[in-house]
Chain A
Amino acid sequence: GQSLEQPSEVTAVEGAIVQINCTYQTSGFYGLSWYQQHDGGAPTFLSYNALDGLEETGRFSSFLSRSDSYGYLLLQELQMKDSASYFCAVRGQGGKLIFGQGTELSVKP
């Protein structure tokens, strides 16, 4: 089977840095994606790691260690608008995505 684990909730203050971890157990791993979803909205793509290492996109970075079946999303210079749910998702064969349960991030002033 396939499973992903990520914390259910994280709270941080504006301007801070927060890391959301994701561990996975899966067969046929092709990469790890991260999506953001605001209340009532659609998930939107943030980043994708196929190989080990760090990918940086502006204030967001994502890391993958395939040997540890582990990845994380790093959000820097937090802003109030970053309050949302963040999902890691394993990409399997054919582009199939299996999503984690999501981490609800609350950014406080």
Chain B
Amino acid sequence: DAGVIQSPRHEVTEMGQEVTLRCKPISGHDYLFWYRQTMMRGLELLIYFNNNVPIDDSGMPEDRFSAKMPNASFSTLKIQPSEPRDSAVYFCASSGTSGGREQFFGPGTRLTVL
């Protein structure tokens, strides 16, 4: 199995631009999680899906952030408009029917907003 796939691996953009991060979970996994990691705030859960349905989005910072999961093999996290404080590493993770017992993380997208 290829593991969780994320793209792009690196993204540099200017303030005000729209950013779209993509994730392909491990085939057969029912849960998909989006995290953000920064030095100041650590690893934060933004939102998670179960069977393509958003279950908890309480970690989404504000309305500029949105996430979708149109099917079992694809999810996006969109930031519009982006701001410098959004600079972070964004991880996508997936897990099987056991939920959070073991989550498999993708390599992350390092986002820099200038």
Interface set of A (CB-CB < 8 Å, partner B)? 30-31, 33, 41-45, 48, 50, 87, 91-92, 94-102
Are A96 and B100 in touch, CB under 8 angstroms?
Answer: yes
A48 to B99, CA, bound (A): 12
B17 to chain A, nearest CB (A): 25
What total of A-B pairs shows CB separation below 8 Å? 61
Are B42 and A97 in touch, CB under 8 angstroms?
Answer: no
B101: chain A residues within 8 A (beta carbon): 31, 33, 48, 50, 91, 95
Given contacts A42-B106, A43-B91, A43-B105, contact A95 B99 (CB under 8 A): yes
A43: chain B residues within 8 A (beta carbon): 43, 91, 93, 105
Are B105 and A95 in touch, CB under 8 angstroms?
Answer: no
Interface size range of chain B in the complex = 20 to 34
Interface set of B (CB-CB < 8 Å, partner A)? 31, 33, 42-45, 48, 50, 55-56, 91, 93, 95, 98-108
> Quick one: which of A31, A45, A50, A98 contacts B103, CB cutoff 8 A?
A45
